[in-house]
Amino acid sequence: MLTLGIESTAHTFGASVVESDIDKKDYKKSTCKILSNEKDSYTTTTGGMIPRELAEHHYACSLNIIKSALEKAKVNLSEIDLVSFSQGPGIGNALRVGAISARQVALKNNIPLIGVNHCVAHIEIGRKLCNAKDPIMLYASGANTQIICYENSYYRVFGETLDTGIGNFLDTFGRELGLGFPAGPKLDEMYFKGTLAKVSAFAGRSEAMASPRELLELPYTVKGMDLAFSGLLTSATKKIEEVKKGKINQEDLVYSVLHNAFAMLTEVTERALAHTEKKEVVLGGGVGCSKALQEMVKKMCDERGAKLFIPPNSVMVDNAAQIGWLGLLMYSSGVRTPKNKLVILPKQRTDDVKVVWRKN
C-alpha cells in the first residue's frame, strides 16, 4: 500500500511517499518504507512566524514539494492508495494549506483521504523506526512540549508545558543573544564548545577539580508533572545584559540555560517512567535532535535501567513521512475522513485521539 503524506502544521510544508504492508494481527510485522520525505521550511531572520506569510510560503511550494516526493519515490499519483494529511494541532493558516492540497489530490485522483494528529504521528514513527514496544515519548519541539505514553486506548499526556514550547523558548533566548532563527542548533554547539574550551584550560587536573562548567543560578520550574519556561526566559534575558558588561561568561549562561531547561524535561520523563513502570523512552520533536538533551536523558535512562531510542533527525523534526505512516495505521484500522466534511483541528490534543490501531 502506498500513501502520500502531507505535513503543514507550522513552518514546514512536507510531502512523503510511504510504502507499507500492514499486518492488522501483529503490528510489529507491518513494514514501513519511507520512499521519499521532501520539505521546505519558512524561515525568518527577525521575529517569529507570521501566519499569513506562512500560508503564502506553503501555497508557493506545495505543488513542487508534492511533485518532488512522487518523483523521488518513482511513483505516479495513479499508484497512490491513500492521501494522509496533518489535521492538527498547529497554526490554522498553515494547516489549511496542507488540508486543501491533500483534498485536491484525493478528489482529482479518486483516492481515500485521512486526517491525522501530528503529535501522535511523532510517537508512531519513532516507535516503528526504533522498534520500541511501549515507550514514553519526550516530545520536545517548537510549539509542543509533552511527556506522553500509551494507557488504555489513548496516548496520555503525563506532563506538558504550561506556557511556551521548549523550542520557542530556546529560539527566543537565542534571538536575544543575536543568534537568529532557528537558534537551537547554535545553542547546542555553544553548550559543548564552552565545555571543551574550559576542560582544556584545566587539563591535567581531575574532572571534579576542574569544574569545567559554571552553573549560574536560574529558575527551575517543575509544577507537579508540568513545566514552565517563562521565568527562566526572563532571568536568562536579564543575564544577557551582564554578559554584555563582561560580568559573566556567555558560554556559562548558555550552558546554564540549557542545563536547567533540559533537566526539567528529564525530571518529568523520569517520574513518568517511575509511575508507569515502563522501560523505554523515545525522543521526538526538533529539540530531540539536541545532543545536550540526548546526553542528559541517556544518563537518566542508564541509571534507571531504561532504554533510550533516538530516531533519525529527519523524523524528529516536522516531516510528512510520519503523517503517511500514521495515516496507514489509522486507515487500515477502519478510520475514515469524509472529503466533503474536511476540517482542520488547530487545538487538537494528543489525548483526543482514540488509538484504535493498538491493542491494550
- Residue ranges in contact with Fe ion by CB under 5 A: 141, 318
Query: Nearest to residue 3, comparing CAs of 342, 320, 340?
Result: 320
| Residue with Cβ nearer Fe ion (40 or 318) | 318
User: 305 is written with which cell numbers?
Assistant: 535501567
- Strand ranges (E), the chain: 2-7, 12-21, 31-41, 82-88, 113-117, 136-140, 145-151, 154-160, 222-223, 226-227, 280-284, 307-309
We find the least distance from the C-beta atom of residue 117 to Fe ion, in angstroms, to be 11
| Residue with Cβ nearer Fe ion (267 or 318) | 318
Which residue shows C-alpha cell 506556557?
163
We find the least distance from the C-beta atom of residue 118 to Fe ion, in angstroms, to be 6
Give the strands of the sheet with 136-140, arranged side by side.
154-160, 145-151, 136-140, 280-284, 307-309
**What is the distance between the alpha carbons of residues 4 and 20, in angstroms, rounded to a whole number?**
11
Long-range CB contacts (within 8 A, 24+) of 75-79: 75/2, 75/17, 75/35, 77/4, 77/105, 77/109, 77/111, 78/109, 79/2
**What is the distance between the alpha carbons of residues 321 and 312, in angstroms, rounded to a whole number?**
12
* Residues in the chain, total: 360
Residue 28: DSSP 8-state: G
| Residue with Cβ nearer Fe ion (114 or 119) | 119
| Residue with Cβ nearer Fe ion (102 or 317) | 317
| Residue with Cβ nearer Fe ion (89 or 174) | 89
CA dihedral 348, 350, 351, 352 (to 10 degrees): 30
We find the least distance from the C-beta atom of residue 302 to Fe ion, in angstroms, to be 27
**What is the distance between the alpha carbons of residues 20 and 30, in angstroms, rounded to a whole number?**
7
| Residue with Cβ nearer Fe ion (160 or 318) | 318
CA dihedral 26, 27, 33, 34 (to 10 degrees): 170
| Residue with Cβ nearer Fe ion (251 or 318) | 318
We find the least distance from the C-beta atom of residue 125 to Fe ion, in angstroms, to be 10
We find the least distance from the C-beta atom of residue 116 to Fe ion, in angstroms, to be 12
**What is the distance between the alpha carbons of residues 15 and 5, in angstroms, rounded to a whole number?**
5
We find the least distance from the C-beta atom of residue 221 to Fe ion, in angstroms, to be 23
| Residue with Cβ nearer Fe ion (194 or 288) | 288
We find the least distance from the C-beta atom of residue 166 to Fe ion, in angstroms, to be 12
Which residue shows C-alpha cell 519558512?
42
We find the least distance from the C-beta atom of residue 141 to Fe ion, in angstroms, to be 4
| Residue with Cβ nearer Fe ion (270 or 318) | 318
Residue 354: DSSP 8-state: B
We find the least distance from the C-beta atom of residue 318 to Fe ion, in angstroms, to be 5
